[in-house]
């Protein structure tokens, strides 16, 4: 008995690195505002000048991570425990064989396209903040200075694009 043709063979279960390196959205602040740190990681976070968000309950750094550039981690070899252990729902489902890698990559590409389109419309702040926060601030600022029909129409379109991104994240990435 011969083996099935390559096109009929089940897709090998990915390790996750293909999906993660194509995505990186967990580092951008799109899925979370902060990433928790372990106490022994605080000196490295300080050395990297990460924006900390520490309180009596936990130590964390604010996202987007400044070490994430061009969808790559610039400190991958010394990344934090939360970074090396985190798996979004899509990655877990892909590794379990529930979602084929090709479909998972398509979902990620869709979210990235939506993010890129919104980034064209929402000015980036300095220091960078999560897209959701920057969009909210952009809407607030524009609402305060412009009540024209053109802005109201643009605003409606922008709010719809943000809603589409939110749904794509929830349904596509399954965080």
Q: Residue 80 is encoded by which pair of tokens?
A: 């934090």
Query: Residue 12 — pLDDT band, cuts 50, 70, 90?
Result: low
Give the span between the Cα atoms of 29 and 129, in whole angstroms.
7
Tell me the residue ranges of DSSP E strands in the chain.
Answer: 34-37, 59-62, 68-69, 72-73
pLDDT in tens, 101-145: 999 999 999 999 999 999 999 999 998 999 999 999 999 999 999
Q: Is the pLDDT of residue 8 over 70?
A: no
């Amino acid at each position: 008995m011969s083996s099935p043709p390559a096109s009929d063979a089940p897709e090998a279960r990915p390790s996750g690195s293909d999906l993660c390196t194509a995505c990186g959205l967990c580092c951008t602040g799109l899925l979370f505002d902060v990433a928790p740190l372990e106490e022994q990681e605080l000196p490295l976070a300080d050395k990297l000048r990460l924006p900390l968000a520490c309180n009596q309950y936990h130590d964390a750094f604010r996202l987007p991570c400044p070490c994430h550039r061009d969808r790559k981690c610039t400190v991958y070899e010394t990344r934090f425990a939360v970074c090396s252990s985190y798996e979004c729902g899509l990655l877990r489902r892909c590794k379990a064989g529930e979602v084929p890698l090709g479909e998972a990559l398509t979902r990620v590409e869709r979210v990235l396209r939506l993010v890129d389109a919104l980034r064209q419309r929402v000015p980036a702040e300095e220091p960078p903040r999560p897209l959701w926060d920057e969009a909210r601030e952009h809407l607030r600022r524009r609402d305060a200075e412009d009540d024209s029909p053109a802005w109201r129409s643009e605003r409606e379109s922008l709010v719809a694009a943000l809603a589409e991104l939110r749904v794509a994240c929830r349904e596509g990435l399954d965080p």
